[in-house]
Amino acid sequence: MDSIWIQGGKRLEGKIPISGAKNAALALLPCALLTEDKLTLGNLPRLADVDSFGHLLNQLGVSTMVEGVRRGEYGRRMTLHAADIASTVAPYDMVRKMRASILVLGPMLARAGEATVSLPGGCAIGDRPIDLHLQALECLGAEIELAAGYVKATAPKGRLAGGDYSFPVVSVGATENALMAAVLARGRSQLFNAAREPEIADLCNLLVAMGARIEGIGSSHLIVEGVEGLHGATYDVMPDRIEAGSYACAAGITGGCIELVGARPGDMCSIVNALCHAGLMVEFNDHGVKVTADGKLKPLALTTAPFPGFATDMQAQFMAMLSLAEGDSFLEETIFENRYMHVPELRRMGADVEIRGRSALVHGVEKLTGASVMATDLRASMSLVLAGLAAEAETEVLRVYHLDRGYERLEEKLSAVGAAIERRSSG
């Protein structure tokens, strides 16, 4: 099994190209199910989750063709073709590996009039139910049955009618599923209190490029006029704001200066605010975002919230950075119930963090020390890498497969800005 080894203490300086957004890619890929034409997606990050999604789509009868990738280049282009949907069943062995598989439910139901998807079950960061996905689809006219660990959704007379749904809690995935179902419905649909994450706007923009009619893009009130059919399109995945934010924290924790090439400042307002309050200098230019730190970090109070609030996917990375701030920081996690699993590992590296329910008090320390640490989930793993970049001596991050789900060629990107980091295989 691979692990990542880091010799800490190097100041990072240089440029890091930001890859296509994982979370956007996972919402754009299932759009292939909505049309019998070809869909070509560019700037797809080379990640384990994207590969798994491709395999799931293959099982449903979608052909996928990846264009040759040149050495040293990031991203890739994939053409997906769902001429026919061969199976409308997404089995447990696929869904269990990747929760985002639930995103085939809406588009498959819209196109084929039925869809059967395994219930995803819990995951490391919390329960993560799918009740809102199902309620939204019911409001669009679907009939839902739950049996033997599967959800079966059917559109009466083969096509959804469309309808209105108000989300009681903001949900990124449920908004995406509802959107992909609504675009082919017979009538008009309205989604109230929809998620406003930039990845949702990316999904809407692709759907519009495929012929969908959507108003209110970027807002929490989305109005969809269903159309008879969608056509193919060619579309580039947006840049990954969470990857960019993670490397900004790498500049912060090492007192370095990193240019995040291709990052879009407008997608990163709350992250940029937090970086500035922590004492980093953030500049925007035509190429992206440049982050400069002077080695001193100020403590922060941060509460995670749906966009445009502070992203839960950045909480662990900020915690690692703030563990070296001059004073006490307060973090509050409001989205997922179990998102502090990095804390025991950070403590093993010398961080001083107290957890009280959903809050964490981070007492800044003078230094961190390298250790062997265990990654537990994707963003938690990145917080350990960040701590390792600043720690004295060597850090080994185990269970690297978590990182491979969401960071394209991490060690290559960090080495290029001066980190002493490598992947070692233990056989």
How would you classify the pairing of strands 257-261 and 233-236? unpaired
Q: By CB under 6 A, is residue 407 in contact with ligand UD1?
A: no
Q: Go through 268-301 and write b for each residue having 16 or more CB atoms within 10 A of its CB, e for each that does not.
A: bebbbebbeebbbebeeeeebbbbbbeeebebbe
C-beta of 163 vs 406, nearer to ligand UD1: 406
Q: Measured between alpha carbons, how far is 99 from 174 in angstroms, rounded to an integer? A: 12
Return the number of the residue (78 or 130) whose C-beta is nearest ligand UD1. 130
- DSSP class of residue 83 equals S
194 lies in the binding site for ligand UD1 (CB under 6 A): no
The binder of ligand UD1 chosen from 81, 111, 133, 413 (CB under 6 A): 133
The length of the chain in residues reads: 427
Q: What angle do CA 170, 173, 176 make, to 5 degrees?
A: 100
User: Which region, judged by CB under 6 A, interacts with ligand UD1, from 82-90, 123-131, 255-263, 314-322?
Assistant: 123-131
Determine, following the binding rule CB under 6 A, whether residue 403 of this chain makes contact with ligand UD1: no
Residue (139 or 391) nearer to ligand UD1, CB: 139
* Residues recognised as catalytic: 123
Cα separation, 68 vs 122, whole angstroms: 37
335 binds ligand UD1 (CB under 6 A): yes
Closest to ligand UD1 by CB, 170 or 419: 170
> Per CB under 6 A, does 201 bind ligand UD1?
no
Q: How far is the CB of 132 from ligand UD1 (least distance, A)?
A: 3
Residue 312 within binding range of ligand UD1, rule CB under 6 A: yes
Of positions 9, 42, 129, 364, contacts ligand UD1 by CB under 6 A:
129
Helix 378-390 × helix 241-254 angle, to 10° = 20
Size of the site for ligand UD1 (CB under 6 A): 21
Q: Report H helices in 190-333.
A: 198-209, 241-254, 269-277, 315-322
DSSP 211: T
* Contact range with ligand UD1 by CB under 6 A, out of 59-67, 124-132, 182-190, 287-295: 124-132
Among 6, 32, 110, 174, binds ligand UD1 (CB under 6 A): 174
Per-residue burial over 160-199, b if 16 or more Cβ lie within 10 Å, else e, is: bbbbebebeebbbbbbbbbbbbbbbbeeebbbebbbbbbb
Identity of the amino acid at 274: A
Q: Which is nearer to ligand UD1, 235 or 310 (CB)?
A: 310
Pattern 255-294, ligand UD1, x by CB under 6 A = ----------------------------------------
- Of 89-118, binders to ligand UD1 (CB under 6 A) are 100
Q: Which stretch binds ligand UD1 (CB under 6 A): 128-136, 148-156, 254-262, 280-288?
A: 128-136
The residue among 332 and 394 lying less far from ligand UD1, judged by its C-beta, is 332
Half-sphere exposure of 340 (CA within 13 A, CB side): 19
Q: How far apart are CA 137 and CA 152, in angstroms?
A: 11
What is the smallest separation between the CB atom of 247 and ligand UD1, expressed in angstroms?
17
Q: Is 220 exposed, middle or buried (0-12, 13-18, 19+ CB in 10 A)?
A: middle
Contact 249, 293 (CB under 8 A): no
Q: Are 361 and 301 in contact (CB under 8 A)?
A: no
Q: Minimal CA–CA distance to 174: which of 226, 102, 245?
A: 102
Residue corresponding to tokens 């999604």: 53
| The binder of ligand UD1 chosen from 128, 231, 348, 423 (CB under 6 A) | 128
251 binds ligand UD1 (CB under 6 A): no
Select the span of 55-63, 82-90, 167-175, 386-394 touching ligand UD1 (CB under 6 A). 167-175
Strands 2-7 and 394-398: antiparallel
CB of 9 to ligand UD1, least distance (A): 31
Say whether residue 132 binds ligand UD1 (CB under 6 A): yes
**Contact pick of 172, 291, 316, 322 for ligand UD1 (by CB under 6 A):** 172
Does 26 help bind ligand UD1 (rule: CB under 6 A)?
A: yes
User: Among 313, 333, 377, 408, which residue interacts with ligand UD1 (rule: CB under 6 A)?
Assistant: 313
Token match 């491979």: residue? 404
Residues forming the site for ligand UD1 (CB under 6 A): 23, 26, 100, 126-133, 169, 171-174, 195, 312-313, 335-336
